């Protein structure tokens, strides 16, 4: 059994920070004279007090974590923050049910972007701000996790992106702390730049800052029921496309560019080149389909194709149109796009580009060696040798990812959802994309009308997907908890 005191100490600190953040939407609603300020005030006080007590009780000087403790911290932190961040939604006047409150907060903190709320255009701005803040902190949280924790735990091939030598393998908390400052600064600068871009398109300051936070988090929560479609006429979709792409690039490259002045690092990164190539190719395909099917002229078709393709591939989940109405090809294409993802070490979700690169390299190696049984052909990624352990981790990830997807879809089908809703909802949750397909949970719908049991299944899938599948599942093995 790992020593859990450092785990709960860190969770206590995180909880207190989350509680303090709740006072930001409270102040927004106080300024607007909206009754919802009470919900955030009470929830903020409760959460801050809970976190402070937990941190005090479990205080350990110079806390450090070994690998098993880091697995526990990663999973329990996301679960705890999902639960605590739902508190404002439970109180008057928001007054959601427990299931709906947890669904909205879990979707927010995991940057999934699936929502049960409607009437966003008339909702208290404090509620909208809280949704945006949830995604923003979830986005930076997953970058720190992906860069500082997952590589050391060798989850899903992430050991490819270790930034320190092996003798630091046990020093997970110090590594996370040292990375968090640099990552947070870059994240903040990109958010401010995105905010300025949205302001230039004519958005008011509130919509601009809310959308900037959810764009950089690749989360997709909007302040309008029409999502980004409500702001497209003035060019907000162009700004959104650019910054969704930037958010889906590896933050490790940004660190190299800013700390070492290596401005060409982004051009040399094989993952970045592959990601940009995929986006360009998919955008061209969708644009040609929209033009050849006489649905849109070139400029409009290109903007719609680029924005919605980038949104789904990166897992942001914004929409500027109901692509369900574009025909069966578009529906099938966007369903497939859910399983691509951005770069490792970014705020994007789903499988991620580097795993496809590793899988293709392993397949190429296998096919070359089939007729040459004694040939020795080293596998390489980004100019570096690929160890068998990395290939094994990546292939295992593919297996558990799609197994989780299939099990989730089957459970949703058993609950009574139609096939399109069940399978697209499962894919959207595990890949943390947000909108699914069909009339219920498609880009023009919400998850509000789903049965409560379906929402619980989807919540678990969101958490598992956001934690790179293996991180969560390893805690379910009895061997993990043995001394």
**What are the DSSP calls for 98-152, one per residue?**
HHHHHHHHHHHHTT--------GGGS-HHHHHHHHHHHHHHHHHHHHIIIIIHHH
Tell me the two tokens of residue 135.
């995604």
Question: How much is the pLDDT for 162?
Answer: 67
User: Which residues neighbour 280 within 8 Å (Cβ) at sequence distance 6 or greater?
Assistant: none
Tell me the two tokens of residue 94.
């928001």
What's the CA gap between 232 and 238, in Å, rounded?
A: 8
pTM of the model: 0.92
End-to-end, the C-alpha distance of the chain in Å comes to 5
What's the CA gap between 425 and 454, in Å, rounded?
A: 10
Q: Number of C-alpha atoms within 13 angstroms, CB side, residue 171?
A: 13
What's the CA gap between 323 and 466, in Å, rounded?
A: 25
In tens digits, the chain (483 residues) has pLDDT values of: 667 788 899 899 999 999 999 999 999 999 998 999 999 999 999 999 999 999 999 887 766 677 778 888 889 999 999 999 999 999 988 889 999 999 999 999 999 999 999 999 999 999 999 999 999 999 998 888 887 778 777 778 887 776 543 334 445 566 666 778 888 999 999 999 999 999 999 999 999 999 999 999 999 999 999 999 889 888 999 999 999 999 999 998 898 888 878 788 888 889 999 999 999 999 999 999 999 998 899 999 999 999 999 999 999 999 999 998 899 999 999 999 999 999 998 999 899 999 999 999 989 888 887 777 777 778 888 778 888 888 999 999 999 999 999 999 999 999 999 999 999 999 999 999 989 998 899 998 899 999 999 999 999 999 999 988 888 888 888 877 776
Question: How much is the pLDDT for 471?
Answer: 83
For residue 385, the SS3 value is strand
Phi, psi of 219 (to 5 degrees): -100, -45
249-283 burial code (b ≥16 CB/10 A, e <16)? bbbbbbbbeeeeeeeebbeebebbebbbebbeebb
What's the CA gap between 212 and 23, in Å, rounded?
A: 20
Tell me the two tokens of residue 377.
């052909």
* Among candidate residues 437, 355, 453, 434, the one with its CA nearest the CA of residue 400: 355
Radius of gyration of the chain (CA): 22
Among all chains, which residue has been given the structure tokens 């006489």? Answer: 294
What's the CA gap between 423 and 412, in Å, rounded?
A: 8
Among all chains, which residue has been given the structure tokens 């300020």? Answer: 37
For residue 380, the 8-state DSSP code is E
| Chain mean position to CA 212 | 15
Question: How much is the pLDDT for 163?
Answer: 58
For residue 313, the SS3 value is helix
CA angle, residues 116, 119, 120, in degrees to nearest 5: 85
Tell me the two tokens of residue 433.
């994309």
| Chain mean position to CA 396 | 21
Return the sign of the alpha-carbon dihedral for residues 13, 16, 18, 21: negative
What's the CA gap between 52 and 312, in Å, rounded?
A: 39
What's the CA gap between 226 and 156, in Å, rounded?
A: 36
CB 44 within 8 A of CB 129: no
Burial of residue 46, with CB atoms counted within 10 A of its CB: 0-12 exposed, 13-18 middle, 19 or more buried: middle
CA angle, residues 312, 265, 336, in degrees to nearest 5: 20
What's the CA gap between 408 and 469, in Å, rounded?
A: 13
76-97 burial code (b ≥16 CB/10 A, e <16)? bbbbbbbbbbbbbbbbeebebe
For residue 384, the SS3 value is strand
What's the CA gap between 401 and 156, in Å, rounded?
A: 10
For residue 154, the SS3 value is coil
Q: CA-CA-CA-CA torsion for 324, 326, 331, 336, nearest 10 degrees? A: -120
């Amino acid at each position: 059994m790992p020593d859990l005191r450092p785990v709960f100490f860190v969770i206590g600190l995180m909880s207190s920070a989350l509680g303090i953040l709740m006072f930001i939407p409270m102040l927004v609603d106080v300024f607007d004279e909206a009754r919802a300020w009470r919900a955030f005030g009470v929830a903020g006080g409760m959460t801050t007090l809970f976190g402070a007590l937990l941190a005090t009780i479990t205080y350990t000087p110079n806390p450090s974590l070994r690998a098993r403790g880091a697995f526990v911290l990663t999973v329990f932190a996301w679960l705890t923050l999902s639960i605590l961040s739902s508190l404002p939604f439970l109180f008057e006047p928001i007054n959601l049910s427990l299931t709906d409150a947890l669904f909205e907060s879990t979707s927010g903190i995991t940057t999934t972007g699936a929502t049960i709320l409607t009437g966003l255009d008339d909702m208290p701005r404090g509620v909208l701000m809280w949704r945006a803040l949830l995604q923003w902190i979830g986005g930076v949280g997953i970058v720190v996790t992906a860069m500082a924790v997952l590589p050391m735990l060798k989850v899903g091939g992430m050991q490819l992106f270790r930034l320190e030598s092996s003798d630091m393998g046990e020093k997970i908390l110090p590594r996370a702390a040292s990375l968090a400052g640099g990552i947070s600064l870059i994240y903040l600068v990109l958010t401010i730049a995105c905010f300025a871009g949205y302001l230039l398109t004519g958005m008011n300051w509130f919509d601009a800052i809310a959308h900037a936070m959810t764009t950089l988090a690749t989360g997709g929560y909007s302040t309008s029921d029409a999502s980004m479609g409500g702001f497209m006429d003035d060019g907000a979709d162009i700004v959104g496309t650019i910054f969704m792409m930037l958010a889906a690039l590896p933050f490790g490259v940004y660190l190299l560019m800013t700390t070492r002045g290596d401005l060409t690092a982004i051009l040399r990164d094989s993952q970045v080149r592959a990601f940009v190539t995929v986006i360009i190719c998919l955008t061209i395909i969708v644009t040609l389909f929209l033009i050849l099917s006489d649905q849109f002229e070139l400029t409009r078709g290109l903007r719609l194709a680029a924005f919605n393709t980038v949104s789904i591939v990166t897992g942001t989940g914004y929409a500027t149109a109901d692509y369900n109405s574009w025909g069966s090809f578009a529906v099938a294409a966007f369903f497939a796009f859910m399983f691509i993802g951005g770069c490792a070490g970014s705020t994007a979700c789903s499988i991620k580009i580097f795993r496809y690169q590793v899988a293709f390299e392993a397949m190429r190696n296998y096919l070359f060696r089939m007729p040459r049984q004694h040939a020795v052909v080293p596998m390489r990624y980004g100019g570096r040798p690929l160890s068998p352990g990395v290939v094994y981790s990546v292939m295992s990830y593919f297996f558990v990812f799609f197994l989780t997807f299939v099990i989730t879809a089957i459970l949703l089908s058993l609950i009574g959802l139609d096939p399109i809703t069940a399978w697209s909802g499962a894919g959207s949750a595990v890949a943390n994309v947000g909108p699914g397909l069909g009339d219920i949970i498609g880009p023009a719908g919400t998850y509000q009308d789903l049965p409560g049991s379906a929402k619980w299944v989807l919540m678990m899938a969101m958490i598992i997907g956001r934690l790179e599948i293996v991180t969560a599942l390893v805690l379910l093995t009895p061997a993990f908890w043995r001394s």
